A and B are shown apart, each in its own frame.
Chain A
Amino acid sequence: MPFTKAEFSGRDRLMAKIVLSPTILAATFFIYGFILWTIWLSLTRSTILPSNHFVGLANYYDLFGSSRWWRSLTNLGIFGGLYVLISLSIGLGLAILLDQRIKGERLYQVVFLYPMALSAVVTGVAWRWLLDPGFGLQAIVRSMGFPHFAFAWIDDPDMAIYTVVIAAVWQTTGFMMAIFLAGLRGVSSDIVKAAQIDGASNARIYLRVILPSLAPTFFVALVLSVGLAIKSFGLIIALTGGGPGYSTNVPSIFMYVFSFQRGEMGVGAASALMMLVIMMIFALPFLYLDSRRQA
């Protein structure tokens, strides 16, 4: 329990408040204040410079009238959906495999997780090279005796978004594995033993006993991976530059281009707010459940 008033002197109490106050001010101004400020900018005719000329929802009409924005949203849906599905599935699979009293478990973990320590830009550059049709996987398979093998997704406007999925899965699946492994290690061994005594098979124990008790872990992994997908920026810039054309634009790239390259600050602010809204749709249920669990 924290101090009661009687046992803690006024001077120390004041000191505690003084120490925390810069962060309180910073959070109020730089997080909450800036969110409000961005909302305001999205309602003004701000272009290269901010303006206080109120234009109502005009920027939102522009935003949702833009085919580039719709392409960005669709791409986020395709990329985010596949990325979350694949990285969670493989992450869970690897965690279950590593949970089988594996020799060299530590080494496998180090290998699965090291991409997480790399910059997204480095990951993008590496996969740009591996997926280059002239040198990368296509060239390798062709040189192995399949001269008509085609794998040039990175240059194909309809397929390039899937190369982003590959690179993102490579970078962060180990992270999902680590979360699921921590969850698996937290499952009470008593209930597993009880199921074993009842004669349940290994597969059945996983399906019926262990995985259901991992529901909170699934939720954490889901919210985190959705967050990673929405925030993906450097990876896509380095891998495809958002192209060919706008074919791999996502909201983060759209926001950057409109705000800092095209001088359409109002539209950029509106797109930033949409990103926040998408994130909060996934995060709020999580925060709600988390606060109830801690209460």
Chain B
Amino acid sequence: MRTTSILSPRRWVVYSLLSLAALFFLLPFYVMLVTAFKTMPEIYSTGILALPSSLNWYAWVHAWSAATIGAASSGIHGYFLNSFILVIPAVVISTAIGAFNGYVLTHWRFRGSNVFFYMLLLGTIIPFQIVLLPMAWVEGRLGIAGTLIPGLMLVHVIYGLAFTTLFFRNYYVGIPHDLVKAARVDGAGFFSIFFRIMLPVSTPIIMVTAIWQFTMIWNNFLFGVVFTQGGQQPVTVAINDLVDTVTSVHMWNVDMAAAIFAALPTLLVYLIAGKYFVRGLTAGAVKG
């Protein structure tokens, strides 16, 4: 059989439309990237689409360690680090609690546990503006207002629980209860069943949940801007401050370099483990 490499007109249209869409989605990132490698005079003379004449690292270095954000002129590196300091414990804690919750809600149900699960789902829907004012008051009372750790971390853990519990619950419901029963007969208890039966098969859902939480918390702006101040702020808030800072000449190249720095961690996770990210998006979507 001979196959021909010439596309039928219909296929040609399909591929053209898809490529056009791809161009639309790629263009902004391309423009950010080339802008970050140019000097401002070069941007003035060649526009924003042209490739840089040479790879100029000035904007990257300046954004990382010298740009003015708020009162300080030491770039975004401290805020970038803040986001890591925030996101690692927040992801670990909310994922771990979600795993235990999902386990209880599927294999150790008790009267009212299902009702509670449906009540918890509200936490995946509400606009978080509805909890900001009381939360700010409580954090003030606890003396942790404005802090990254534990202030902001606590907010992210609490309001992440509905999502992490939902993910694990929907995963563990598919694990045959007979496995759990058999382990009971062998004398295994609540925790040993979790660690010996549930955890070994949980790698996919741990990936989905951890990546979901990492992306949501890293990218979050609302909680960061409300619950932290000054040097405690996460990188998304710092980027916005940087871009908003009025200077005599707007350094777009520095803004773009800083924005790419802020985007890199979640972008890398997406490129490496995108499968799990998409599964989280559509799982949360279909069930929540």
- Report which A residues bind B (CB closer than 8 A): 1-3, 7-9, 11-13, 15-17, 19-20, 22-24, 26-27, 30-35, 37-38, 41, 50, 90, 93-94, 97-98, 100, 102, 108-130, 132, 135-136, 139-140, 143, 170, 174-175, 178-179, 182, 220-221, 224, 227, 230-231, 233-234, 237-238, 241, 251-252, 255-256, 259-260, 265, 268-269, 271-273, 275-276, 279-280, 283, 287, 290-291
Residues of B within 8 A of A112 (CB): 21-22, 25
Segment with Cβ contacts to A, from B70-78, B123-131, B200-208? B123-131
Contacting residue for B130 out of A3, A170, A273, CB 8 A: A273
Q: Which residues of A contact B60 (CB under 8 A)?
A: none
- B123 (CB) vs chain A CBs: closest residue: A31
In the complex, what distance in Å separates the CA atom of A115 from the CA atom of B277?
12
Tell whether B32 is near chain A: CB-to-CB under 8 Å: yes
Pairwise interchain contact A283-B125, C-beta atoms closer than 8 A? yes
Closest Cβ of chain A: how far from B41's Cβ, in Å? Answer: 13
The answer, among B100, B122, B136, B236, for a CB contact under 8 Å with A19, is: B100
**Are B130 and A27 in contact, with the CB atoms below 8 A?**
no
Q: B14 interface residue, CB < 8 Å from A?
A: yes
Residues of A within 8 A of B282 (CB): 178-179, 182
Contacting A at CB under 8 A, from B244-288, are: 244, 252, 255-256, 259-260, 262-263, 266-267, 269-271, 274, 277-278, 281-282, 285-287
Known: A20-B116, A94-B18, A135-B252. A126 touches B267 (CB 8 A): no
Chain B neighbourhood of A231, CB < 8 A? 127-128
Judged by DSSP, the binding face of A is helix
Enumerate chain A residues within 8 angstroms of B260, measured Cβ to Cβ: 122
Q: Which residues of chain A are near B126, meaning CB under 8 Å? A: 31, 35, 276, 279
- B100, A35: Cβ atoms under 8 Å? no
Closest-CB distance, A75 to chain B (whole angstroms): 15
Chief secondary structure at chain B's binding surface: helix
- Interface pair A178/B278, CB less than 8 Å apart: yes
> Nearest-CB distance from A181 to chain B (Å)?
9
The answer to whether the Cβ of B101 comes within 8 Å of any Cβ in the partner chain is: yes
Contact status B127-A140, CB under 8 Å: no
From A115, which residue of chain B is reached at the shortest CB distance? B25
Q: Which chain A residue lies CB-closest to B242? A: A125
Bound together, the chains give a CA A244 to CA B15 distance in angstroms of 40
B82 within 8 A of partner (CB):
no
Which chain B positions have C-beta within 8 A of A227? 125, 127
Q: Which residue of B lies closest to A269 (CB)?
A: B133
A23 close to B97 (CB less than 8 A)? yes
A97 to B18 alpha-carbon distance, docked (Å): 7
* Segment from B51-59, B84-92, B155-163 that makes contact with A: B155-163
Q: Apart from A108-B21, A269-B133, what 13 extra A-B contacts exist at CB < 8 Å?
A: A19-B103, A97-B17, A112-B25, A119-B236, A119-B262, A121-B219, A139-B48, A175-B281, A179-B286, A237-B240, A260-B226, A272-B130, A272-B133
Question: How far apart are B257's CB and chain A's nearest CB, in angstroms?
Answer: 11
